[in-house]
Amino acid sequence: MSAQLSRRMALLAAYEDFTRKETTCLKDGDFEEMLKVQSKKAKVAEALSKLEDLPSEEEKQTFSGRIDSLLEQEKANAEALTAKLSKNRSEFKKLSQNSLSAAKLRNLYGAAIDRSVVKGTLKDKA
């Protein structure tokens, strides 16, 4: 039974470590690495859910306290991710608008420049 409990705590420690790495990835904007970390976290969570024995009261209190801290950190990570996604959407929208405006200007002034190219002189055209 103690081997199973130590496995539970080892898995919890791994999950905590992955959550810290996820926080760092969010701060650095390294979303590719964050996806890898989240995949690993999912595997650890699955392994935790498959443990069949129940922890002792002492282990349960320690485990619950650490889970509460993890939940707070994951909530903060979710809020940070939502904020970054919102900022990225806003920046993408501005970039798209600027790109569209530039294309319109290019079409408008590009056509005028093409039309104004006069061969010869005005004297020949009069």
Residue 37 token pair:
């970390």
Inform me whether the pLDDT recorded for 1 exceeds 50: no
Neighbours of 37 (CB within 10 A): 21
Query: What whole-number percentage of the chain has pLDDT above 90?
Result: 46
Instruction: Give the residue-averaged pLDDT of 72-91.
Output: 92
Residue recorded with tokens 């979710």: 78
pLDDT tens track for 8-21: 889 999 999 999 99
pLDDT tens track for 27-58: 998 999 999 999 999 999 999 989 887 777 88
Higher pLDDT, 28 or 6: 28
Q: Which amino acid is at 83?
A: A
Domains located in the chain, CATH noted: 2-116 (1.20.58)
In whole angstroms, what is the distance from residue 15 CA to residue 30 CA?
19
- Residue 82 is predicted with a pLDDT of 92
CB contact at 8 A, 41 and 18:
yes
